[in-house]
């Protein structure tokens, strides 16, 4: 059966939980992992959750669970095993050996969460800068994790045995090649970053506004509505990888609006490091629009992830407008008092300005535009206090 079915696009998901997390949150995390897999073109057949005080240091899951997963993968021709956490280099090597010991069976790719995200970014990056950033992050992540059975280098090679010999020599060759490639990519990225920094410095006397938020909350759709442009918007994770900047004019007041990559929990460290120049659009913004999918059952958790990521980037103190999107999908909030109650809760969390919108039905967009306009004008006067006659005066 294993050889009659194409296993390349079939996966099993694996998570380990200490039991302290609510079951609903564990399911949500696996739903998100399945969505990531789907974005990468991989369909999920089975999910495994094991309760352990901490992951097994050798194979992440215990021996019994490992045997169960191996048997299922063999019977159902599962070609991908995706873990909802990062694997150590030794865990990855051990799992590769466990699942690929039989030369007669189709090979199983072992992914951890970071590698899956990196592969998705590589698929979706459009500009030279984004492609260079992602390739650098991916190579840095792969370097300590190479095995003879590694399949993510997109080539198949033979070896003389399961240990030692040509296979081990190939690993050393791959390591040298990756180190050399990392060096080249760093040089390329440095040149690109200098060009981008020069471009950003040339944007004088114009307030900069950046859209931020968890991935797939509707940032690109709102970008299109506010800027009347055509930024790619899809119901997929990381539909936007490249930062997109547009000039927007509201009430004769121009400002720059940028759509940035969506954040996600456990965003790979190497990816954040490599995307620093793209994320400068966030760090150097004067105002942030934090877009939230308020219909998502765990949107407060997503707000926390975004807030923490912004703080890690050094952007935690930038004035922020909280935009609660997809209000049309929220049930049970039929009166003004209910909406005001929600606003009050977020104001207590430190969000002075809170706006409800629906990008799909375009409800409350005029209110959002007015709040943005007032914030942009106030920021301009703060940045340029000597500008006694701003460019929108007299209108």
Tens of pLDDT, residue by residue over 71-108, are 999 999 999 999 999 999 999 999 988 998 876 667 88
DSSP characters for 7-62?
-TTEEEEEEEE-S-S-HHHHHHHHHHHHHHHHHTT-EEEEEEEEE-SS-BTTTBS-
Instruction: State the Cα–Cα distance between residues 203 and 280, nearest whole angstrom.
Output: 14
Taking Cα atoms as reference points, which of 114, 40, 130, 135 lies closest to residue 264? 114
Q: How confident is the model at residue 277 (pLDDT cuts 50, 70, 90)?
A: low
In angstroms, the Cα distances linking 74 to 12, 46, 99, 108, 337 are 11, 13, 9, 9, 56
Residues 6+ apart with CB under 8 A from 265: 29, 32, 301, 305
Q: What is the pLDDT of residue 31?
A: 93
In angstroms, the Cα distances linking 26 to 86, 251, 296 are 16, 46, 15
111, HSE (Cβ side, Cα atoms, 13 Å): 29
Range in 44-48, 57-61, 103-107, 110-114 with the lowest mean pLDDT: 103-107
Higher pLDDT, 207 or 386: 207
Q: How far is CA 160 from the centre of its chain?
A: 39
Tens of pLDDT, residue by residue over 323-352, are 999 999 988 777 777 888 899 999 999 998
278 and 129 Cβ atoms separated by less than 8 Å? yes
């Amino acid at each position: 059966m294993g050889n009659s079915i194409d296993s390349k696009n079939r996966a099993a998901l694996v998570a380990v939980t200490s039991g302290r997390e609510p079951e609903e949150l564990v399911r949500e995390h696996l739903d998100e992992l399945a969505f990531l897999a789907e974005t990468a073109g991989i369909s999920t057949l089975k999910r495994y959750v094991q309760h352990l005080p901490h992951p097994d240091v050798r194979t992440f899951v215990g021996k019994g669970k490992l045997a169960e997963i191996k048997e299922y993968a063999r019977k159902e021709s599962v070609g991908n095993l995706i873990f909802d956490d990062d694997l150590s280099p030794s865990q990855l090597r051990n799992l590769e050996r466990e699942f690929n010991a039989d030369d007669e069976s189709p090979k199983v790719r072992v992914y951890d969460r970071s590698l899956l995200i990196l592969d998705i970014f590589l698929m979706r990056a459009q500009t030279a800068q984004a492609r260079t950033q992602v390739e650098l992050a991916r190579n840095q992540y792969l370097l300590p994790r190479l095995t003879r059975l590694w399949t993510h280098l997109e080539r198949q090679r033979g070896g003389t045995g399961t240990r030692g010999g040509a296979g081990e020599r190939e690993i050393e060759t791959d390591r040298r090649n990756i180190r050399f490639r990392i060096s080249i990519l760093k040089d390329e990225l440095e040149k690109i970053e200098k060009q981008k920094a020069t471009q950003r410095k040339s944007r004088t006397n114009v307030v900069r506004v950046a859209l931020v938020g968890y991935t797939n909350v509707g940032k690109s759709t709102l970008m299109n509505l506010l800027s009347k442009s055509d930024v790619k918007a899809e119901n997929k994770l990381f539909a936007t990888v490249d930062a997109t900047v547009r000039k927007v004019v509201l009430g004769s007041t121009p400002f720059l609006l940028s759509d940035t990559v969506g954040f996600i929990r456990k965003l790979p460290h190497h990816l954040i490091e490599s995307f620093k120049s793209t994320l400068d659009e966030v760090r150097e913004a004067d105002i942030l629009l934090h877009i939230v999918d308020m219909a998502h059952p765990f949107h407060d958790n997503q707000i926390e992830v975004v807030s923490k990521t912004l703080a890690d980037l050094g952007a935690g103190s930038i004035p922020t407008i909280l935009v609660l999107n997809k209000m049309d999908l929220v049930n049970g909030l039929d009166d003004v008092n209910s909406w005001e109650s929600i606003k009050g809760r977020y104001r207590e969390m430190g969000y002075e300005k809170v706006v409800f919108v629906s990008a799909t039905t375009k409800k409350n967009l005029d209110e959002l535009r007015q709040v943005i306009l007032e914030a942009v004008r106030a920021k301009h006067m703060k940045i340029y206090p000597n500008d006694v006659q701003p460019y929108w005066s007299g209108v």
